[in-house]
Structures are given as structure tokens and as C-alpha cells.
Amino acid sequence: MPQIEPVANSKSHSSPSGGGRQFSFTGGVCVLVALVGLLVLSGWAFGLPLLRSVIPGSVEMKANTAMGLVMSVIALELMAS
């Protein structure tokens, strides 16, 4: 009877350099979105108008929108694990 070999995990990809580091596009985007949300929240907490807008000189992001971004990242990470 032939032996069945396990299939590699399709959720993560190994680095092309072969260093064994695991990365994913969605993980990187989650980190970026969380950082933006946390920066905006810190701008609201410390009263810094520069941090309240993603692009300087544009409309400020509201605190509840920034909190929604952070909570969305947390939900995505919990679903992925």
C-alpha cells in the first residue's frame, strides 16, 4: 500500500532565500493597518493633529475609525490562528 505524505501548510510561505522565516502578505498588511490605527489613536490621546490624519494636510481620521481598524486587525489575527 502506498504511503501518503502530508501536504505543506498553505497559509504561510517560506522565504525565497531559504532562511526559514515565515511571512505572508496579509500579515504584513495587518501590521501596517494596526500601526496606522495606533498612530491615529495616539494623535487623539496626546492632541497631536499631525498624527490624526494619515496624509498630512488632509481630513483627520476619527478616533472610532482608528479603533475599528485596530479591532479589525485583532479579529483577522484571531481568525487566522
All structural domains of the chain with their residue ranges: 36-81
46 and 37 in contact (C-beta within 8 Å)?
no
Helix (H) or strand (E) holding 22: strand 22-23
Cβ atoms 15, 21 nearer than 8 A: yes
pTM beyond 0.75, yes or no = no
What pLDDT does residue 27 have? 85
Confidence of residue 6 (pLDDT cuts 50, 70, 90): low
Radius of gyration of the chain (CA): 19
pLDDT band at 21 (very low <50, low <70, confident <90, very high): low
22: which strand partners? Answer: 14
Contact criterion met (CB below 8 Å) for 75 and 53: no
